[in-house]
Amino acid sequence: MMKLVSDRGSEEVENPLKISFEFFPPKTEVMDVKLWTAVKRLAPLDPEFVSVTYGAGGSTRSRTHATIGRILSETDLTPASHLTCVDATRSELDEIARDYWDMGVRHIVALRGDPQDGIGTAYRPAAGGYAYADDLVAGLKRQAPFEVSVSAYPERHPESGSWDTEIDVLKRKVDAGADRAITQFFFDNDLFEAYLERVRAAGISIPVVPGILPIHNFSQVESFAGRCGTSVPGWLRHRFAGLDDDPVTRQMVAATVAAEQVFDLTDRGIDQFHFYTMNRAELVFAICHMLGRRPNVQDQAAA
């Protein structure tokens, strides 16, 4: 049974946790302010890296590139750019990879990407492109000695027909050179543990880092979870029941739920976590504080 935050203290996490944060590039000036407020708030926590998402289409790609550039020039953070196979030729992606290397980026999160027509529709490899994530991983490794992270799915990718297929896809990415796997968000730690046992039984030894999603809006998260194949336990739904119009209480519950999840995973031997920030710092900062990951006095003064 999961041990509640109220039953323990952050000092019970004996070894320093490794953390990383995911951001997405802003589309508007208001979103830009929100992003950089979050970056500056979380930077003193000294994450291993921060990743920036990437979508199909030139405007999205340019925003990712600009965000990565600003992180490099204005912070001491280590950025990792997402890169997908969607709507791009091999030569285009190779050029993007070389540009990132020349900028100083040494870490890429290599993904197949969502189907062009949205989750739930058929995926079509781009003509002349890297068809799948393992192809992209191999291509990146040919361009430069990038550190490469890939995706993993504790409840199977929606397009996987079986666990054999799911594990085989991950193994192909590892064989192509992947250094780390970061999971889709999940809420049931037993499912993650069962997945990790399958991965290790298949001889896959790279780190598998849990993706943690703090819940800012339960209804939105539940809807998104349904589209990407993530189950929502009844106890979690009960925790957020009646809080749609009570953001203050909802935020307190969300921080407690996520901290409980991470504490429980540390009890199971996990010491690396990737937080999907949604470009908001408050919940992630509170969770890290409860876990004992805090900025030092000098960092706080500088912030």
Determine the Cα–Cα distance for residues 180 and 28; give it in Å rounded to an integer: 32
Determine the Cα–Cα distance for residues 71 and 39; give it in Å rounded to an integer: 9
Q: Which amino acid is at 273?
A: F
Of the candidates 11, 12, 14, 22, the residue annotated as catalytic is 22
Q: Give just the sign of the alpha carbon dihedral 246, 252, 258, 264.
A: negative
Determine the Cα–Cα distance for residues 300 and 83; give it in Å rounded to an integer: 33
Spell out a b/e string for 97-121, using b for 16 or more CB atoms within 10 Å of the CB, else e.
beebbeeebebbbbbbbbeeeeeee
Cβ–Cβ < 8 Å for 174, 206: yes
Determine the Cα–Cα distance for residues 238 and 218; give it in Å rounded to an integer: 11
Determine the Cα–Cα distance for residues 129 and 126; give it in Å rounded to an integer: 5
What would the two tokens of residue 101 be? 């290397």
Please confirm, yes or no, whether 22 is among the known catalytic residues.
yes
> Active-site residues: which are they?
22
